[in-house]
Amino acid sequence: MNILASYRYQMEDNKKGVGVYYLVIACVFAFFFIMTLLLDTLGDPVSGQLGGFDFATIIFLFVASLNSFKENFGMLLQNGISRKTLFYGRLLTSVSIAFVMAIIDKLLLLAFKALSSSTDGNLVCSSLFEQAYQFNNDQLSTHFISFLLSLLLYMTISSIGYFITILYYRLGKSGKIAVSVALPVGLFMVFPLLDYILTRGRISARISILIDTAFGLSTNRPGNAMITCLLLFILLSLISWLMIKRAAIKE
């Protein structure tokens, strides 16, 4: 198995997008930072918060994963790379990109916080995990925990996007339409209505409690979120592999 060739090809496919993404993030921060200083200099200071920019990383990884299967699948198989090698290369690529972006996000956050301190509190930067959990960022251990959370969450988001794009690849035209329409309508319209009529919302309440427990939000336990993300990553990766095994090459 030539896993290294598969890994390099899929990493190269993501390199440019990651670079452009962080250029945009830096420009957005620079804009708000300069505007805050300028308004303060003109005697009209305003306060603002640039929070959860790592949420933008989540959206980027999800969208990038949605576009990471069809072309790579056809190209690698036509060049003699097996499905198993492609899949292992994809796993390594997902973990590598998640690892690199978790480190960059942590370093950027620290840099943005340092620069924001010069605005006398008019511009405040925070991460998604600072907002979700009560972290004390002065401690080294919390930096490590937030890094692990980012890493596992980014891996999970990538696996969700990859799973969805393979599912759509395997489905026919009618199947794609059925999933695209039935899933959102069922989840956001039919289910809430039936739940309210039949159980007065008890099922939705229990789902909310389940999600809260799985991610340890109200109990401030990020370890719950780590375990949940890791299990989801493994489960979705296994399902994706089962779908790749029998996928045919499409033009």
Average pLDDT value over all residues in the chain: 88
Q: Which residue has the tokens 């962080």?
A: 22
At residue 233, the pLDDT reads: 97
Which token pair is 183?
């899933």
* Sequence ranges of the domains in the chain: 3-170+201-245
Q: Which among 29, 17, 27 has a CA at the least distance from the CA of 66?
A: 17
At residue 135, the pLDDT reads: 64
* Digit-coded pLDDT (tens) for 75-117: 888 888 899 999 999 999 999 999 999 999 999 988 888 888 8
φ, ψ at 249 (rounded to 5°): -75, 130
At residue 63, the pLDDT reads: 94
At residue 250, the pLDDT reads: 74
Task: Quote the CA–CA distance of 181 and 187 in Å, as a whole number.
Answer: 10
Task: Characterise 52 by phi-psi region: left (phi > 0), alpha (psi -120 to 50), beta (else).
Answer: left
Q: Which residue has the higher pLDDT, 48 or 94?
A: 94
Query: Which pLDDT band, with edges at 50, 70 and 90, does 129 fall under?
Result: confident
Q: Which among 45, 51, 31, 47 has a CA at the least distance from the CA of 121?
A: 47
* Digit-coded pLDDT (tens) for 1-31: 688 888 999 999 888 999 999 999 999 888 8
* Digit-coded pLDDT (tens) for 147-204: 999 999 999 999 999 999 999 999 888 888 888 888 888 888 898 899 888 888 899 9
At residue 137, the pLDDT reads: 59
Taking each helix axis from N to C end, the angle separating 140-170 and 70-78, rounded to the nearest 10 degrees, works out to 70
Query: Which pLDDT band, with edges at 50, 70 and 90, does 121 fall under?
Result: confident
The pTM score is 0.89
Task: Quote the CA–CA distance of 239 and 189 in Å, as a whole number.
Answer: 27
